Structure 1
Amino acid sequence: MPENPSFRPSLKLLDATMIVAGSMIGSGIFIVSADITRHTGSAGWLLLVWLITGFMTLTAALSYGELSSMFPRAGGQYVYLKEAYNPMTAFLYGWSFFAVIQTATIAAVGVAFAKFTAYLLPFFSEENVLLNLGFMDITAAQLLSIAVILLLTYMNTRGIEGGKVIQTTLTLTKLVSLSGLIIFGLIAMKRDVWQANWQQAWELHPLSADGTAASYTALASLGAIAAAMVGSVFSSDSWHNVAFVAGEIRNPKRNIGLSLFLGTAIVTIIYLLTNITYLSILPLHEIAYAPKDRVGVAVSQVIFGQAGTFIIALMIMISTFGCNNGLILAGARVYYTMANDGLFFKKAGQLNKAAVPSFALWIQCLFASIWCLSGRYGDLLDMISFVVVAFYMLTIAGIFILRFKRPDAERPYKAFGYPLLPILYIVMGLAFCGLLFVFKPRFTWPGLLITLSGIPIYKLLKKKEEAGL
């Protein structure tokens, strides 16, 4: 499919890097360390889980650089899968992306924005039920999350420039804010807490609420690590969103790969330092069992006193608002490319006067809003970690396939550490997915079934296309 000449390449390297970093940093870094600590029970393993996730993310980003330089057009991972494999594989990714991966993530981030807004404006609490429909409750938090998604969608239909300004400004703001939390946290370090947290730093065990001791078998230890990584993988996901907007990036053959490296490296470092800050302020048990898993709030209260709650709430509001802008901006470009392949609503393949796929933005908005109302987005996100990593592995394996199928193709940028690092990612990804499959099947089967449900849909679409409908 030729690139639509109406796309306006106005995103510079800084803007592209901020899409990478901004799409990654939402509310997860302030919350999921609680679950990781419950699974691992030690400071060393808490940091190691984040380090393994960061290494996998950075390795994948470096590998994607080669693919983005070969196919610098809208659609990103969908395009890479189609070129390396076949249209059906690409469609299954696009279907999963639309059905759950992107839309449920937008919903989850939107509701997180609303939950932390409630610290400043209690009316928007998730406990404030505005309408009881019998089979479901509609809360103020859900309606605020939908309102934010509607606002960001509308702003992004007005052109890439507005979305770019929001993304770059808010991402820089939250990077500065997180850096401030780290600096003030380390200044306020409690040395006795830090030393106590590192007493048995590498003893892997579950951390119970009542403090009773427990242990894992050797195999169960691996399952615990995989389960712990679900949260860190989710918090580090969406780094590849910048490839979806390739048609709007200046010098995409250079800047996509470079922005992927810079963005993922910055976030990986920030995440590690943030967790070091947690360990310097709170005992492990208080990290694991922070109220509602809100570790960031608990740490901020220690650092800043009573004002800490409002400071962290404001930080998370900025973080989630910017994160959702990046997700909304980028996601619609996948549906645009699918539509031009005859595999999505035809109207989604059209650009409006502002040179953006407005229909694709609004259909994404609709599904994200439905997930907001359902209240099931959190469960679904746990369920799709398996699918997300599986598609990453397939895409990275595509580098080997394309080097065999198209050895003479232009590759302005080649995967760093090839073939070792791409192979290492695939091995680590297989271990992660395999362990989840064995020890946490509820994290695997539902996501896999959602993906496989795309097969009959694909066959139906192809039949309609062949019939000229």
Structure 2
Amino acid sequence: MENKPNNELKRTLGFGSAISIVVGTIIGSGIFFKQASILDSAGSSTMAILTWIVGGIITLTAGLTVAEIGAQMPYTGGLYVYIENLYGRICGFLAGWMQVIVYGPAIMAAVAGFMSIMMTNLFGIGKEWRIPIALITILAIGIMNFFENKVGAAFSVITTIGKMIPIAAIITFGIFWGHQDAFGQTVSEVNRNSGGFGVAVLATLFGYDGWILIANLGGEMKNPQKLLPKAIIVGISTVLVIYTLISIGIFRFMPADLIHRLGENTTSYLAVKAFGNIGGKLLSIGIIISMMGTLNGKMITFPRIVYAMARRGDLPFSRYLSYVTPKGKSPVIATIFLIVLAAIMMLFFDPDHLSDLCVFTVYCFYLMAFFGVFILRKKNKERPFSVPLYPIVPIIAIGGGIFVLISELFNDPSGVLLFIGIVILGLPIFYAVKRMDKKRMKP
């Protein structure tokens, strides 16, 4: 399993595949399962819809800012590569470590957990089957990604097309056949329990999560300097419009107090009520396919971060983690590694809690990347892509990132400290790996 010079990933991804991965990775469980928790935190249907718009704007400004950076660093590894080039080796390692040990496994576990809720509701089986179903799904999608990246990309295209059916159904039925007022349903109807607008926005960012993962495939895109910014901008803008319309459709069809009572089962209830038992089941299957597409997108991208770090010798057992299959050039050991970590996360955290914590953790490093655009502007006068309305857009991204961190810190300080502690734990591991490398190099 030695990392030979020709042991490289293939540049086979075009614009269509890139857009499908962005949209397919973003649209998954968040928009379908976060409506009730966002409503409870926001306090009214109007504010809940506004949080999806604000979350989308924050994400779009973040995407535009990172697109300028990514166009100048079109390599496999994404955020890990950006942070290292901007701030040095140790900061880069921590960015990669965060994604490999905390963010990646947590986000995959959260999506699989939400999907298993939908599947148990669909088949009418007990809650005790949620974790086994989630584990089997992660394993199955992981095995599919043992093959060439074209296989996973093709699955992303198929699931992205497939997920548009339930999305179009919810939007159309809710807006045109709903009898509720989407705006103006008050706090008294939902018995607001905790959080606030900031926590609600944080929850929407889980729904928008995944936009940066296409950057991890920079080394596998045919023309990353041009395709990467386009894929990020078009993908995020499309999702922002879709999410806003879905939220309006749901509030048009269901009163806020009912959404509050149903919680995570809101979408399943809506599917059956709107389209009957058979139609509801078909719609639920479409939503499950949507979440499988999201999970697949993450399964494509996160092992590339492990691969990029292992190629540098930054991880224990890098020789094995950097292995790619001779024919398909797929990082199979890295994929297995992430499946195991995601399974562990799934056993110890509930999906809703995981989703908020992993968004907080990744935004710590997003903020560093946002500031990095100012650093690169001083160094590089010519760029393949320039963020529009500079410096307003990066400043909005920075402000949004700070807003996210402060909100979650006040909402869940113990969870925040736990995840920060896991990230900091990477420092002694980094130095231990480097000491071992020096010993091996000695004659």
TM-score (norm 1): 0.87
- Once the two structures are TM-superposed, the CA of residue 275 in structure 1 deviates from its matched residue by 0.3
- Tell me: CA distance 1:235–1:431, structure 2 relative to 1, closer, same or farther (3 Å): same
User: Structure 1, residues 30-69: CA drift from partner, whole Å, max 9, x if none?
Assistant: 1111011112221221111111100011111111111111
**1:148 aligned residue:** 137
1:232-247 equivalent positions in 2, closer than 5 A: 232-247=204-219
- Once the two structures are TM-superposed, the CA of residue 12 in structure 1 deviates from its matched residue by 1.2
Which amino acid counterpart does residue 362 of structure 2 have in structure 1? V
User: Structure 1, residues 248-295: CA drift from partner, whole Å, max 9, x if none?
Assistant: 1111111111000111111111110000001111111112222x4222
Which amino acid counterpart does residue 258 of structure 1 have in structure 2? K
**1:293 aligned residue:** 264
- Once the two structures are TM-superposed, the CA of residue 376 in structure 1 deviates from its matched residue by 4.6
Selected match of 2:57 from 41, 46, 55:
55
- Once the two structures are TM-superposed, the CA of residue 438 in structure 1 deviates from its matched residue by 3.3
Distance 1:440 1:378 in 2: 12
**1:411 aligned residue:** 383
Secondary structure of 1:157's counterpart equals coil
Distance 1:466 1:238 in 2: 37
Selected match of 1:280 from 247, 252, 273:
252
Which amino acid counterpart does residue 77 of structure 1 have in structure 2? L
- Tell me: CA distance 1:456–1:28, structure 2 relative to 1, closer, same or farther (3 Å): same
Selected match of 1:198 from 183, 189, 194:
183
Query: Contact 2:24–2:294 (CA<8 Å) still a contact in 1?
Result: yes
Matched, 1:351 2:324: yes
Query: Contact 1:38–1:207 (CA<8 Å) still a contact in 2?
Result: no
Higher mean C-alpha deviation, range 278-287 or range 141-150:
141-150
**1:374 aligned residue:** 348
Distance 1:418 1:3 in 2: 40
Selected match of 1:93 from 95, 106, 109:
95
Query: Contact 2:28–2:111 (CA<8 Å) still a contact in 1?
Result: yes
Give 5+ residue unaligned stretches, structure 1. Answer: 128-139
- Tell me: CA distance 1:444–1:370, structure 2 relative to 1, closer, same or farther (3 Å): closer
Distance 1:181 1:451 in 2: 39
- Tell me: CA distance 1:57–1:208, structure 2 relative to 1, closer, same or farther (3 Å): same
Distance 1:65 1:4 in 2: 29
- Tell me: CA distance 1:206–1:240, structure 2 relative to 1, closer, same or farther (3 Å): farther
Query: Contact 2:272–2:281 (CA<8 Å) still a contact in 1?
Result: no
**1:132 aligned residue:** none
**Identity between Structure 1 and Structure 2 (%):** 27
**1:162 aligned residue:** 151
Selected match of 2:288 from 297, 313, 317:
317
Q: Kindly report structure 1 stretches of 4+ aligned residues shifted beyond 6 Å.
A: 2-5
Matched, 1:266 2:268: no
- Tell me: CA distance 1:100–1:437, structure 2 relative to 1, closer, same or farther (3 Å): same
Query: Contact 2:72–2:383 (CA<8 Å) still a contact in 1?
Result: yes
1:61-72 equivalent positions in 2, closer than 5 A: 61-72=63-74
- Tell me: CA distance 1:279–1:67, structure 2 relative to 1, closer, same or farther (3 Å): same
Which amino acid counterpart does residue 161 of structure 2 have in structure 1? L
Selected match of 1:41 from 43, 46, 49:
43
Distance 1:49 1:114 in 2: 26
- Once the two structures are TM-superposed, the CA of residue 308 in structure 1 deviates from its matched residue by 5.1
Selected match of 2:25 from 7, 23, 26:
23
TM-score (norm 2): 0.92
1:384-399 equivalent positions in 2, closer than 5 A: 384-399=358-373
- Tell me: CA distance 1:337–1:3, structure 2 relative to 1, closer, same or farther (3 Å): farther
- Once the two structures are TM-superposed, the CA of residue 207 in structure 1 deviates from its matched residue by 5.9
**2:171 aligned residue:** 182
**2:423 aligned residue:** 451
Distance 1:206 1:386 in 2: 30
- Once the two structures are TM-superposed, the CA of residue 24 in structure 1 deviates from its matched residue by 1.0
Query: Contact 1:21–1:264 (CA<8 Å) still a contact in 2?
Result: yes
- Once the two structures are TM-superposed, the CA of residue 378 in structure 1 deviates from its matched residue by 4.2
Give 5+ residue unaligned stretches, structure 2. Answer: none
**1:363 aligned residue:** 337
Number of residues paired by the alignment?
436
